[in-house]
Amino acid sequence: MRCISLLRLLACTAVATTPGAAVAQSFSDPGLGLGAVASLSEGASSDGTSLGAALLVRYRLTASLGLEGRIGFRSETVDDGSGPLLEVLDLPVTGTAQLFFLPRTRVQPFLLAGAGLHVVKTDPAGRNTDIGGSTEAVFALHAGAGLDVRPSRSSAIHLDARWVFLEPTAIPDLAAAGYDVKPGYLSVTLGVTFFR
């Protein structure tokens, strides 16, 4: 009897003195995550919105700072308003720094900035017959903002918008030839990440 009372006392003491880490645990503890995104993008001179996708790795350095690496693909048709001029296939490999706000909550807005190497294949289209037709590696910066929603401590759903300052050689060549085209594109992505 006395042994059972002592065990109860020890159990109650252990429960009372255990820190409430699980209850107060941040939704942004450092850790590694793998995921994927689907994207809609529209270039400054594209003929409309195009679909894309990417695989990603995210790493939360601290509650407020994160890193992300992506490898993906997208395509677009460059148009000056009078018809297609260029078919573009873009395979970006990017690195992004993220600054999170409200890191201990389930909904975390963030800012992002980074750079990437884009393997870009261009082919002439429409009335453009000689500009393009090459494959090149192009360095480009990007910046934007997003929202991270944490359904659980091991998963995240994220939405972001970023402007990519991509300028393959064919775009300034078209502009120099008198076509009204501009570089860069806006990409809006929706994705999911699972953390270890």
Give kind and range of the element (H or E) at residue 196: none
Could you tell me which residue, 195 or 166, shows the higher pLDDT?
166
User: The whole model's pTM is what?
Assistant: 0.82
Q: Is it true that domain 2-195 has CATH number 2.40.160.20? A: yes
Bridge partners of 41, per DSSP, are 50, 187
Predicted local distance difference test score (pLDDT) of residue 93: 98
Cβ atoms within 10 A of the Cβ of 169, count?
14
Distance, CA of 98 to CA of 145 (rounded, Å): 9
Predicted local distance difference test score (pLDDT) of residue 26: 65
Task: State whether residue 126 is helix, strand or coil.
Answer: coil
